[in-house]
Amino acid sequence: MTNRIAVIDRDSCRVEDCGLLCRRLCPLVRNKIEVIKVDDKGKPIISEELCIGCGICVNKCPFKAISIVNLPGELEGECIHRYGVNGFKLFRLPIPARSTVLGLVGKNGVGKSTSLRILAGKLKPNLGVVEGDPPDWDSIIEYFGGTSLKDYFAKLASGNLRVAYKPQYIDAIPRVFKGEASRLLSKLDERGVMDYIVSILELREVIDRRVDVLSGGELQRVAIAAVVCRDADVYIFDEPSSYLDVRQRIKVARVIRWLAKQDVMVVVAEHDLIVLDYMSDMISVLYGDPGVYGIVSYPRAVRDGINMFLEGYIPSDNVRFRSQPIRFQVKPPTQVAESIDIEYSWGFMVKKLGGFTLRVEPGFIRRGEVIGILGPNGIGKTTFVKLLAGLEKPDEGDALPGGVKVSYKPQYISGDYDGVVEVLLRKTLGDRMESSFFREEIYRPFRLDKILDRRVSDLSGGELQKLAIAICLSMDADIYLLDEPSAYLDVEERLAMARAVRRIVENLGRVAFVVEHDILVQDFIADRLMVFSGIPGVDGYGHQPMDMRSGMNMFLKELGVTFRRDRQTYRPRANKEGSRLDRIQKEMGEYYYTAATIEEE
């Protein structure tokens, strides 16, 4: 059963010529139900809550501007798995294909990991049967009759399909494997590619260390290398870019593309849209009601698939799953006016930590400004943030003056609070929790209502991240420091987070520094950029904040990656190395913000 509603294509609507015919003829409006309102340009807007999808307006509109779409609903007879009575339901499955990277994108909680675990043979699908005997493999294979998944599950059930799988959460690896990373990799190197992969993923210096002392980014790359070294028919990666910097994300994407060329099937779930776009051939969008049900769309070519996700509309099912499309702009944001007072400034700073030395150029930040921080892992970004926060003292130079109130969200957040979310929020925020500011800017956009009565220790990575950001932004502070706020968040949550940070900083006249590896998020959130370069773990150099264009150019030049713009959504897409646009842009020195290279196809 699906809900149907009318939607209006604003470009086709010519209200000045028809005199708002749809509104006059809609039976609900005649019954004084405000289903069609009028916006400030005089054009009609149809309410999703009130429209009954009768279709009368569709036929009456002289300019064919109105159509009927379905709202997402559960699909009778297509349930692949259900987690118990009243549990989450998954409808349809991604369809892997040989020599193809199939990318999955969708909100958290709509079944990406569930789909991947089913394809990996870690979870036997029950076809929605939760009472009585679950179906046996024969019935499951029969269910997929007529599709390529029949052969897939027949081989999986008989042990003739080899699957290599990297789970979303990698922190369990050190618990099951004790010893050096090199021992883990040699044990799994069934294809004799370990040396090649170790060198591409820059793991040479790391592999002699024990798995339990590796950083998040190192462990992620070891886990990916371990999967790639296996000899399998299907390779599955659940969120491979968590903890990785931009350069490492691009390297991992290249390894995954290389893998698919070996006549194997590859499936990847990923929230960094630039990385997903770069590595995938096909895309399946997952949509639905997080935690309740999820539907997997049929695979589409990568560009169409990601655009479909951004549009929030699945043409093959005629379903709209988001009321507003996600849009990008080509031009860099206008900067905070130079006339606005400088709020804080810092001097040239030096900080030594063991064998690592960080040097930072002097800089300043204006009121209402967000400075984005970009750079490789291990280059001193967190150390800089801690110097600003007063958690570390510089060996030379001056950080910020004393008495500045700083609210800091660290990179790694701990969930070991023994209690429920609401109690923690009340304890840390007190009366602020009742303020309309908290309700409008934080509680609602972060959907905190969904986790209020959950235990903090039971929250998923994304839920914990949202809670930590919400607490950080709710504090009364002069400066907000957010270290990797988008880790574990889905695309929509990342954009909601970026909007919340911007609104708080702009409306309250505060300032923020944001360390972030998702380039799209930096594009949304930052007014200016600080680029860190040098030799990770040895020498870090923080350049003074620059305008977005100069910052992106400096950062991307070092990486050797240029971006063109998608002609429909204007989203940035990484150019293939050595392609025509890549060469032209490198010659121009324009790596990111350039209207000249909107796709021509």
Hey, what are 183's tokens?
């021992």
The answer to the question of residue 110 lying near ligand ADP (CB under 6 A) is: yes
Site residues for ligand ADP, 491-550, by CB under 6 A, read 537
- Cβ-based nearer residue to ligand SF4, 29 or 365: 29
Burial class (CB in 10 A: 0-12, 13-18, 19+), 116: buried
Q: Smallest gap, in angstroms, from Cβ of residue 540 to ligand ADP? A: 6
User: Binds 285, which of ligand SF4, ligand ADP, none (CB < 5 to 8 A, cut-off by type)?
Assistant: none
User: Binds 242, which of ligand SF4, ligand ADP, none (CB < 5 to 8 A, cut-off by type)?
Assistant: none
User: Binds 110, which of ligand ADP, ligand SF4, none (CB < 5 to 8 A, cut-off by type)?
Assistant: ligand ADP
Residue with tokens 């799209």: 520
User: Binds 530, which of ligand SF4, ligand ADP, none (CB < 5 to 8 A, cut-off by type)?
Assistant: none
- Cβ-based nearer residue to ligand ADP, 108 or 220: 108
* Binding segment (CB under 6 A) for ligand ADP, from list 72-80, 158-166, 372-380, 465-473: 372-380
Q: Smallest gap, in angstroms, from Cβ of residue 268 to ligand ADP? A: 12
Sole binder of ligand ADP in the list 72, 94, 109, 288 (CB under 6 A): 109
Hey, what are 329's tokens?
């702009």
The answer to the question of residue 353 lying near ligand ADP (CB under 6 A) is: yes
Give one word for 211, left, alpha or beta, with left for phi > 0 and alpha for psi -120 to 50.
Answer: alpha
Q: Dihedral sign, CA of 36, 37, 39, 40?
A: positive
User: Binds 26, which of ligand ADP, ligand SF4, none (CB < 5 to 8 A, cut-off by type)?
Assistant: ligand SF4
User: Binds 353, which of ligand SF4, ligand ADP, none (CB < 5 to 8 A, cut-off by type)?
Assistant: ligand ADP
Kindly give the residue spans of alpha helices, DSSP state H, lying in 475-564: 491-508, 519-525, 548-559
Number of H helices, E strands in the chain: 22, 28
The residue type found at 257 is R
Residue with tokens 């509603």: 5
Q: Smallest gap, in angstroms, from Cβ of residue 311 to ligand SF4? A: 19
Q: Which residues pair with 378 in a beta bridge?
A: none
- Cβ-based nearer residue to ligand SF4, 70 or 435: 70
User: Binds 114, which of ligand SF4, ligand ADP, none (CB < 5 to 8 A, cut-off by type)?
Assistant: ligand ADP
> Which are the contacts of 458, defined by CB distance < 8 A and separation ≥ 6?
none
User: Binds 220, which of ligand SF4, ligand ADP, none (CB < 5 to 8 A, cut-off by type)?
Assistant: none
The answer to the question of residue 390 lying near ligand ADP (CB under 6 A) is: no
Residue with tokens 């599709």: 147
Count of residues binding ligand ADP (CB under 6 A)? 24
| Closest to 385 (Cα-Cα) out of 512, 572, 258, 210 | 512
Q: Smallest gap, in angstroms, from Cβ of residue 287 to ligand SF4? A: 22
Query: In 3-state terms, what secondary structure has residue 497?
Result: helix
Helix axes 491-508, 461-474, angle to 10 degrees: 0
User: Binds 22, which of ligand ADP, ligand SF4, none (CB < 5 to 8 A, cut-off by type)?
Assistant: ligand SF4
Q: Determine the Cα–Cα distance for residues 557 and 573; give it in Å rounded to an integer.
A: 16
Q: Smallest gap, in angstroms, from Cβ of residue 518 to ligand ADP? A: 15
Q: Smallest gap, in angstroms, from Cβ of residue 17 to ligand SF4? A: 7
| Closest to 225 (Cα-Cα) out of 210, 205, 207, 209 | 207
Residues that bind ligand SF4 (CB under 6 A): 6, 8, 13-15, 18, 20-22, 26, 28, 35-36, 44, 46, 51-57, 61, 63, 65-66
Q: Smallest gap, in angstroms, from Cβ of residue 135 to ligand ADP? A: 18
Helix axes 461-474, 421-429, angle to 10 degrees: 20
- Cβ-based nearer residue to ligand ADP, 280 or 562: 280
CA 238 to the chain's CA centroid: 13
Hey, what are 501's tokens?
């940070």
The residue type found at 435 is S
Q: Smallest gap, in angstroms, from Cβ of residue 15 to ligand SF4? A: 4
Burial class (CB in 10 A: 0-12, 13-18, 19+), 121: middle
Contact indicator for 235, 367 with CB cutoff of 8 Å: no
Hey, what are 142's tokens?
């029969």
- Cβ-based nearer residue to ligand ADP, 112 or 249: 112
Hey, what are 549's tokens?
């264009």
- Cβ-based nearer residue to ligand SF4, 44 or 363: 44
- Cβ-based nearer residue to ligand ADP, 386 or 502: 386
> Which are the contacts of 516, defined by CB distance < 8 A and separation ≥ 6?
372, 373, 374, 482, 484, 485, 486, 522, 525
Contact indicator for 273, 520 with CB cutoff of 8 Å: yes
* Binding segment (CB under 6 A) for ligand ADP, from list 71-79, 112-120, 159-167, 246-254: 112-120
- Cβ-based nearer residue to ligand SF4, 56 or 423: 56
The answer to the question of residue 72 lying near ligand ADP (CB under 6 A) is: no
- Cβ-based nearer residue to ligand SF4, 64 or 331: 64
- Cβ-based nearer residue to ligand ADP, 109 or 332: 109
173, 240, 267 from 270: Cα distances, Å: 20, 7, 10
User: Binds 591, which of ligand ADP, ligand SF4, none (CB < 5 to 8 A, cut-off by type)?
Assistant: none
Give the x/- contact pattern for ligand ADP in 234-273, rule: CB under 6 A.
----------------------------------------
- The bridge status of strand 100-106 relative to strand 265-269 is parallel
User: Binds 112, which of ligand SF4, ligand ADP, none (CB < 5 to 8 A, cut-off by type)?
Assistant: ligand ADP
Q: Determine the Cα–Cα distance for residues 274 and 49; give it in Å rounded to an integer.
A: 34
The answer to the question of residue 278 lying near ligand ADP (CB under 6 A) is: no
Q: Smallest gap, in angstroms, from Cβ of residue 582 to ligand ADP? A: 27
89, 199, 486 from 189: Cα distances, Å: 37, 14, 33
> Which are the contacts of 28, defined by CB distance < 8 A and separation ≥ 6?
35, 50, 51, 52
User: Binds 415, which of ligand SF4, ligand ADP, none (CB < 5 to 8 A, cut-off by type)?
Assistant: none
Rg (CA), the chain: 25
Site residues for ligand ADP, 79-108, by CB under 6 A, read 83, 87-88, 106, 108
Contact indicator for 533, 373 with CB cutoff of 8 Å: no
Contacts with ligand ADP, residue ranges (CB under 6 A): 83, 87-88, 106, 108-114, 291, 353-354, 356, 375, 377-383, 537
